[in-house]
Amino acid sequence: MQDLVTDDYKTLPHPTSRLDWRARLLLRSMEVSGWPKVSESDVAKARRDLRMMLDTTSIWRPVARVQQARIAGPKGEIPLRIYTPLIKDRAGTMLVWFHGGGFVLGDLETADPTCRALAEKSGAVVVSVDYRLCPEHKFGDGVDDAYAATMWAFRHARALGCDPSRVAIGGDSAGGTFTALVAQRLRDSGGPRPAAQVLVYPCTDCSLELANHDPAVAQLLTWDTVEWFAGHSHEEENRTDPAISPYHHEDLSDLPPAVLVTAECDLLCTDGEAYAVKLRAAGIPVAQRRYDGQIHGFFMMDRVFPAAREAHRFVGRALRTMQPVAQPKFDEALRLPPSVISLTPLQRFAKVAAERSPLMVAMRLGETLMSNWSGGLLRRVGTP
């Protein structure tokens, strides 16, 4: 684990292929078991496989309350899930979270363990956003959803027991991209100001010029996978457009303080660290930490990686200590809309039993592997 501060990201230690032994074991077990490759899957299967992987590698944590909501967005309703921790921060901190998945994969379920962990470590109410995905929707539709959900969170912060001056936004991977884009849009539109932006191994330059091009560094998130994501999300877009790549915005001043997490064995390690350098040059405080031997995605896999649990604590501490930011006056009488529904304890127990019990996880894991083995066999014998 390294705390990194520099004026030139090129002077930082290069990302390496020196994997943590747990990462080596995970990658080897995926290879031996025939775990399906994203780049060889269709979208629906890749989405199921990601959910299965995280059910296996993440820890489920209890929270005090879970609420479901559907809010109005520019292209239709946006599903949200709201987590109130068992021990709530007295300052009323809120975190709006955008899940990862290359703009194509991920949903409220894949983000569920991470949101629970962040709620526990920070004491913040966490609002998870189920933004629109490519290829069914355009890249910009997901950004619009993220922005609309953030505005909703600010307006309803007090109704959720939070302080609008202590609202942070954050996300991992593609969610980190959306975090940076939303922070820039809020500033440019004169909207409310997040107290912090949490960027977990983000892609801030979708042209990938800032990525590390050593193939040995591309662990789990491989170049084949990156091209698969790009082909389903913004293949025909100008990837250096600031509306897609926040690194290329001409003005990074007056943005929220940043909390950056990167992984040493990740092709996006240099991307996130280059963005941190550019933020600092614009006068933005950045708390930055690189995790040695870790791979892209480790932050979500806290059952496997102790470094993930340390990264959760790092982000949690940053959220607890962030400075409040004065906001526009919102309607103090604003109440939560009827679409916000709290799950009962029985509903929560039934959900865990149905989705996270060892038996159900084992059954779905077997189904995933058998599906991949049978598909590989058909391809080898030439069956269409």
Label each residue of the chain as H, E or C. CEECCCCCHHHCCCCCCCCCHHHHHHHHHHHHHCCCCHHHCCHHHHHHHHHHHHHHHCCCCCCCEEEEEEEEECCEEEEEEEEECCCCCCCCCEEEEECCCCCCCCCHHHHHHHHHHHHHHHCCEEEEECCCCCCCCCHHHHHHHHHHHHHHHHHCCHHHCCCHHHEEEEEECHHHHHHHHHHHHHHHHCCCCCCEEEEECCCCCCCCCCCCCCHHHCCCCCHHHHHHHHHHHCCCCCCCCCCCCHHHCCCCCCCCCEEEEEEEECCCHHHHHHHHHHHHHCCCCEEEEEEEEEECCHHHCCCCCHHHHHHHHHHHHHHHHCCCCCCCCCCCCCCCCCCCEECCHHHHHHHHHHHCCHHHHHHHHHHHHHHHHHHHHHHHHCCC
Q: What is the pLDDT of residue 357?
A: 58
Q: What is the pLDDT of residue 377?
A: 42
Q: What is the pLDDT of residue 349?
A: 59
| 266 carries an active-site annotation | yes
Q: What is the mean pLDDT of the chain?
A: 88
Residues of the chain scoring pLDDT < 50: 374-381, 383-384
In whole angstroms, give the CA distance from residue 303 to residue 314.
17
Query: Please, is 29 exposed, middle or buried when counting C-beta atoms within 10 Å of its C-beta (0-12, 13-18, 19+)?
Result: exposed
Residue-range domains of the chain with CATH: 2-343 (3.40.50.1820)
In whole angstroms, give the CA distance from residue 59 to residue 112.
10
In whole angstroms, give the CA distance from residue 22 to residue 201.
19
Tokens in use for 96?
């709006």
Given 89, 205, 266, 302, the catalytic residue: 266
CB atoms within 10 A of CB 289: 18
Given 248, 249, 296, 312, the catalytic residue: 296
Tokens in use for 235?
């293949």
Q: What is the pLDDT of residue 337?
A: 72
Going by DSSP bridges, is the β-strand pair 65-73/76-84 parallel, antiparallel, or unpaired?
antiparallel
Cα of 70 vs its chain's centroid, Å: 20
Say which amino acid occupies 97: W
The candidate with the shortest Cα–Cα distance to 110, out of 96, 135, 129, is 129
Say which amino acid occupies 322: M
In contact, 240 and 248? CB cutoff 8 Å: yes
Given 58, 122, 173, 233, the catalytic residue: 173
In whole angstroms, give the CA distance from residue 331 to residue 129.
23
Q: What is the pLDDT of residue 4?
A: 58
In contact, 122 and 69? CB cutoff 8 Å: no
Q: What is the pLDDT of residue 379?
A: 45
The candidate with the shortest Cα–Cα distance to 336, out of 114, 84, 143, is 84
In whole angstroms, give the CA distance from residue 71 to residue 147.
12
Q: What is the pLDDT of residue 332?
A: 57
Tokens in use for 278?
């550019």
